[in-house]
Structure 1
Amino acid sequence: MARLNLLEETRYEKLPVTVFPTPAAGAIAVAQRIAKLIRDKQAKGEKAVLGLATGVTPVAVYDELIRLHKDESLSFKNVITFNLDEYYPMQPSSAQSYVRFMNQHLFNHVDIEKANIHIPDGTLAESDIAAFCLNYEKKIEELGGLDLQILGIGRTGHIGFNEPGSAPNSGTRLVTLDDLTRTDAARDFGGKEAVPTKAITMGVGTIFKAREIILMAWSKKKAPIIKKAVEGELSGEVPATYLQLSDNVEFILDDPAASELTRFDTPWLVKDCVWDNELKKKAVIWLAQKVGKPILKLIEEDYNNNGMAQLATEQGPVYNINIDIFSQIQHTITGWPGGKPDSDDRQRPERAQPAKKRSIIFSPHPDDDVISMGGTFIRLVDQGHDVHVAYQTSGNTAVWDDDVLRYMEFAIDFTKSIGDDTAKLQHIHSDMRSFFATKQPNQIDTPEVRSVKGFIRKSEAIAGARYAGLHDDHIHFMALPFYETGKVTKNSVSQIDVQMTVDLLQQVKPHQIFAAGDFADPHGTHIVCFNIILAALNQLKGKEEWVNDCWLWMYRGAWFEFATHEIEMAIPLSPDEVLRKRYAIFKHQSQKDPAVFPGEDAREFWVRAEDRNRETAESYDKLGFAEYAAMEAFKRYYF
């Protein structure tokens, strides 16, 4: 019976999927399977032939394999490896080289024979690549094929560097990279323009011949493409869908990566549910959006025809369900983000008392505050609350080198104008120009360059906060040490980062904290900064009385918004407030035209913010609520 239930739940899934609560748990499971294969082959006196992948996804697998080697005597003497791909052209010593990646994350830490390592050669003359690729395939075939191939998945649905349009029988070859793939790689190369346009990759047909294939994906960011790969139709536009044709494939996911699969996203379509309030709210909103009706116009037929007959039967009549959910959503709307004074607050998202609250807005980067909640920021100040803003990192990796020279030249001219000696500034400026002339992709900036970039972001952040109405003594530029590496990869969080946050919280003693709750990328700055705030609050909990009356509100970053059913406080913005928010964002000139790391969305940050806020308001309007120009959304976090 349990197996039948599982088959029903997974009936939309066209290949096997195993879901783990965390990436660490999934990675350990994959590493254990690889270790078993190696040991089984050793017992038979055979070679284990592995297809390996690069990128963030498999790093935890490699870490566990290294641990097994060191702590449990797992030997790699009988292992032969073939990597999926390599950028072209690419020197093996380059920071972005997959040769360097594999050495750093696996090969230098285990006892594998160097002659048994095979990685596509990014140094070849282009005329030699075809012969190299044929030989790469031949070596795999001579060894009897790959025993196990591990894969990640790109947001275009690529496996290896098999981009949309790849043939299902394709072999190892030189390919042109999709623009989105290059955009995703931009941070590793210090900008998209430095990302190679080509790569050498194993083909889909080569991968498909492996006796076992494991595709791993972690994080919410991968959820949309995972749904397409697992539940979508076969398509050259999503090469990973070809894996549906294999009898030897399994997808290993964490909860966020699996979150858009039908059994998790809309479980009422595949099974009977336990209808708690959260699921009921999500389902009713989904139903209203699907049939294109306001909530109060949904009828029993809508429920019955869309997999929600169980809810209608158990908790109906449906109009009562509609009224209940409509009322809950209506109570999220408020023009008083700090609470409405002298009012009944039992059905309002924020407390009425104290009437004037101490609020602190934590901004991971120096512009997240105004991009993500600029309208609410201004509203809190206008309504007389004691508002502080804390910029957690310097943001100094996201400034163009040209801007550094421009600001230095301004400083030199200004110094001249007041009669001071400019020799030292001119010397620093000359050194910077020389450095930039030979700077390699993603090369760490000099300390002087990092300082100027930090000063640029700091001056912009202060200008934005002043525009929102804050005095300088309420603007805190923290520049947490974990961030200050000068490169994309950051240091681990230390107690210094936490203590700096503790000190600020003790100074302000806030009734409200606003923090970026964007967890789509578990390796991003937002989640790190959020966890620092949590660590600080947990350190203070039980020691400081004010913590017991402190509420933590999450806002989303510049790329995504909370789903409507997740929103617990929605702040409507008037057209004038939308403009004021736009002008606050404009203070961050270094992040415009374009930003250094714009992500996959080509729109400028102010456009994204306005579009997102308008879309939130439109979603409320379509559900039957008042029509507003824009809305900013928040969700409370209980610590």
Structure 2
Amino acid sequence: MARLNLLEETRFEKLPVKVFASEDEAALKVAQNIANIIQKKQAKGEYAVLGLATGATPIEVYNNLVKMYQEQGLSFKNVITFNLDEYYPMQPDSRQSYVAFMDEHLFNHIDIKRENIHIPDGTLDKDKIADYCLAYENKIESVGGLDLQILGIGRTGHIGFNEPGSAPNSGTRLVTLDDLTRRDASRDFGGKENVPTKAITMGVGTIFKAKEIILMAWSKKKASIIKKAVEGEISGNVPATYLQLSDNVTFILDEEAASELTRFNTPWLVKDCVWTKKMIKKAVIWLSSEVNKPVLKLTDEDYNNNGMAQLVTEQGPVYDINIDVFNQLQHSITGWPGGKPEADDSQRPERAEPSHKRSLIFAPHPDDDVISMGGTFIRLVDQGHEVHVAYQTSGNTAVWDTDVLRYVEFTIDFNKSIGEETEHLEKVYQNMRAFLKTKQPNQIDLTEIKNVKAFIRKSEAYAGARYAGLEDKHIHFMALPFYETGKKIKNPIKEEDIKQTMALLQKIQPHQVFAAGDFDDPHGTHIVCFHIILEAMKRLRKTENWTKDCWLWMYRGAWDEFETHEIEMAVPLSPHEVTRKRNAIFQHQSQKDRPVFPGDDEREFWVRAAERNRETAVNYHQLGLANYEAMEAFVRWKFEE
């Protein structure tokens, strides 16, 4: 019976999928699988032939393999490796090369023989690539073929660099990279314009010859493409769907990457559910969208025809279910994000008392406060609360080099206009110009350049917070140490990061804390900053009584928004308030008109914010609620007592 239940639950899935609670747990499982292959081959006196991948996904797998070598004596002397791909053109000593990546994360830390390592050569003349690729294929076959091929997946659905349009029988070859792939790589290269347009990659057919294939994916960012790869029709538009044709493939996912699979996202379509309050709210909102009806107009027929008959049987009638969900949505809407004084707060998301609250807004970058919750920020100030804003990082990596020269030129001219000496400053300026003239992609800036970039972001943050109504004494710049590396990859969280955050919390003793709750990028600045806040608050909650009355609200950044069923506080904005929010964002001039790292969304930040807030309001209206101009959304973090 358990087997039948599992088959029913996974009936939308067209290949085997294993889901783990976390990336760490999943990566350890893959590493153990690799170690078992190596050890079995060692026992037979044979080579283990591994196909390896690069990118963020396999890093934790490689970390585990290094630990197994260092702590458990796992030897790699009998291992032969073939990497999936390499950018073209690419020098092996470049920081962006996959040669450098593999050395940094694996090869420099184990006892593998250098002659057993094979990575596509990005230095070849173009007329030699075809012969080289054929030789690469022949080399794999000459050592008995790949025992295991590990894969990640790109947001285009590529495996290796087999982009949309790749053939299922394709071999190792030179390919042109999709624009989305290049945008995703832009941070590694200091801008999309520096990302190579081509790459050498194993083909889909090459991958298929492996005796075992494991595709790994972590984080919410990969959830959408994973659903297409696992549940979609086989198509050259999503090359990973070709893996449905293999008998030797397994997808290894964490819960976030698996979250859009039918059995997790809409489980009522595949099995009987335990109908919790949260599940009911999610299902009814989904049903409303599916049949394009407001919540209060949903009928028995709508429920029965869309996999929700069990809910009606257990907790009906339908009208009562509709009313309950509608009330939950209505009660999440408030024009009083700090609580409405002297009002019944039993049906409101925030407490009425104390009527005068201390609110602390944490912004990972110096503009996240106004971009993500600028309307709520302004309203808290207008309604008389003591509002503080803390900028957790300097944001100095997101300023154009040309802005640095422009500001220093301004400073030189200003000093001259008031009779100040400028000789030393002009020398510094000339050093900056000389450095920037030969600066390589992602090269760490001179200290003076980093400082100017930080000063630019700081002055803009002051302007934005002042526009929102804050006094200077309520504006705090933290410059947390983990961020101040001068490069894309930041340091791990330090104890000083946590202590500095604890000190600020102790000084203000807020009733409300607002923090960025963007968890889609597991290595992003937002989630790192959130973990620092969370650890600081957890420590303080053990000893300080004021923390028991401190609520933590999460907002989302300019990249994404909470799902409607997740929202616990929705703050409506009038057209005038939308304009005020936009004006606050405009104070961050270095982030207009095009930010240094736009991601895969080319819109300006104020446009993203406006359209995201408008979409939230439209979603509420389509569910049957009032038609507001815009809404900012929040979810409360629940501490374990």
- Say whether residues 1:551 and 2:551 are aligned partners: yes
Whole-Å Cα distance in 1 between the matches of residues 4 and 144 of structure 2? 37
* One-letter amino acid of the counterpart of residue 64, structure 1: N
* One-letter amino acid of the counterpart of residue 466, structure 2: R
After TM superposition, the runs of 4+ consecutive aligned structure 1 residues lying more than 6 A away are none
* One-letter amino acid of the counterpart of residue 502, structure 2: V
Taking only aligned residues, the RMSD between alpha carbons, in angstroms, comes to 0.6
Whole-Å Cα distance in 2 between the matches of residues 232 and 424 of structure 1? 63
| TM-score, length-scaled by structure 2 | 0.99
Whole-Å Cα distance in 2 between the matches of residues 593 and 171 of structure 1? 42
Q: What secondary structure does 1:257 align onto?
A: coil
Query: Which residue is 1:131 aligned to?
Result: 131
- In the TM superposition, what is the alpha-carbon distance from 1:191 to its structure 2 partner? 1.0
Q: How do residues 606-621 of structure 1 correspond to structure 2 at under 5 angstroms?
A: 606-621=606-621
Query: Which residue is 1:110 aligned to?
Result: 110
- Say whether residues 1:163 and 2:163 are aligned partners: yes
Whole-Å Cα distance in 2 between the matches of residues 556 and 565 of structure 1? 15
- Say whether residues 1:626 and 2:626 are aligned partners: yes
Query: Which residue is 1:179 aligned to?
Result: 179
Whole-Å Cα distance in 2 between the matches of residues 187 and 27 of structure 1? 24
Whole-Å Cα distance in 1 between the matches of residues 313 and 541 of structure 2? 44
Q: How do residues 46-57 of structure 1 correspond to structure 2 at under 5 angstroms?
A: 46-57=46-57
Whole-Å Cα distance in 1 between the matches of residues 586 and 477 of structure 2? 19
Query: Which residue is 1:467 aligned to?
Result: 467
**Superimposed CA distance per residue, residues 490-521 of structure 1 (whole angstroms, 9 cap, x where no aligned partner):** 11111111111111111111000000001001
Whole-Å Cα distance in 2 between the matches of residues 413 and 167 of structure 1? 60
- Say whether residues 1:122 and 2:122 are aligned partners: yes
Query: Which residue is 2:519 aligned to?
Result: 519
Query: Which residue is 1:452 aligned to?
Result: 452
- In the TM superposition, what is the alpha-carbon distance from 1:467 to its structure 2 partner? 0.4
Q: What secondary structure does 1:256 align onto?
A: coil
Whole-Å Cα distance in 1 between the matches of residues 574 and 240 of structure 2? 44
Q: What secondary structure does 2:285 align onto?
A: helix
Q: What secondary structure does 1:381 align onto?
A: helix
Whole-Å Cα distance in 2 between the matches of residues 272 and 316 of structure 1? 15
Structure 1 portions without partners, runs of 5+: none
Query: Which residue is 1:577 aligned to?
Result: 577
Query: Which residue is 2:371 aligned to?
Result: 371
Whole-Å Cα distance in 2 between the matches of residues 125 and 314 of structure 1? 69
Q: How do residues 371-520 of structure 1 correspond to structure 2 at under 5 angstroms?
A: 371-520=371-520
- In the TM superposition, what is the alpha-carbon distance from 1:317 to its structure 2 partner? 0.5
Whole-Å Cα distance in 2 between the matches of residues 401 and 13 of structure 1? 48
Q: Identity, % of aligned pairs?
A: 74
- Say whether residues 1:568 and 2:568 are aligned partners: yes
Q: What secondary structure does 2:123 align onto?
A: coil
**Superimposed CA distance per residue, residues 600-625 of structure 1 (whole angstroms, 9 cap, x where no aligned partner):** 01111100100000000000000000
- In the TM superposition, what is the alpha-carbon distance from 1:105 to its structure 2 partner? 0.6
Q: What secondary structure does 1:331 align onto?
A: helix
- In the TM superposition, what is the alpha-carbon distance from 1:47 to its structure 2 partner? 1.0
Q: What secondary structure does 1:554 align onto?
A: strand
Query: Which residue is 2:330 aligned to?
Result: 330
Q: What secondary structure does 2:256 align onto?
A: helix
Whole-Å Cα distance in 1 between the matches of residues 147 and 496 of structure 2? 47
Query: Which residue is 2:345 aligned to?
Result: 345
Q: What secondary structure does 2:514 align onto?
A: strand
Whole-Å Cα distance in 2 between the matches of residues 456 and 129 of structure 1? 46
- In the TM superposition, what is the alpha-carbon distance from 1:46 to its structure 2 partner? 1.2
Whole-Å Cα distance in 1 between the matches of residues 594 and 176 of structure 2? 24
| TM-score, length-scaled by structure 1 | 0.99
Whole-Å Cα distance in 2 between the matches of residues 356 and 393 of structure 1? 29
* One-letter amino acid of the counterpart of residue 4, structure 1: L
Q: How do residues 85-234 of structure 1 correspond to structure 2 at under 5 angstroms?
A: 85-234=85-234
Whole-Å Cα distance in 2 between the matches of residues 575 and 410 of structure 1? 37
- In the TM superposition, what is the alpha-carbon distance from 1:542 to its structure 2 partner? 3.0
- In the TM superposition, what is the alpha-carbon distance from 1:356 to its structure 2 partner? 1.0
* One-letter amino acid of the counterpart of residue 628, structure 1: Y
Q: What secondary structure does 2:81 align onto?
A: strand
- In the TM superposition, what is the alpha-carbon distance from 1:45 to its structure 2 partner? 1.3
Whole-Å Cα distance in 1 between the matches of residues 335 and 537 of structure 2? 28
- In the TM superposition, what is the alpha-carbon distance from 1:593 to its structure 2 partner? 2.0
- In the TM superposition, what is the alpha-carbon distance from 1:254 to its structure 2 partner? 0.2
* One-letter amino acid of the counterpart of residue 277, structure 1: K
* One-letter amino acid of the counterpart of residue 577, structure 2: E
Alignment: residue pair count: 639
Query: Which residue is 1:12 aligned to?
Result: 12
Query: Which residue is 1:263 aligned to?
Result: 263
**Superimposed CA distance per residue, residues 349-387 of structure 1 (whole angstroms, 9 cap, x where no aligned partner):** 000011110000000001110110000000000111000
Query: Which residue is 2:530 aligned to?
Result: 530
Whole-Å Cα distance in 2 between the matches of residues 372 and 176 of structure 1? 36
Query: Which residue is 1:238 aligned to?
Result: 238
Q: What secondary structure does 2:185 align onto?
A: helix
Q: What secondary structure does 1:443 align onto?
A: coil
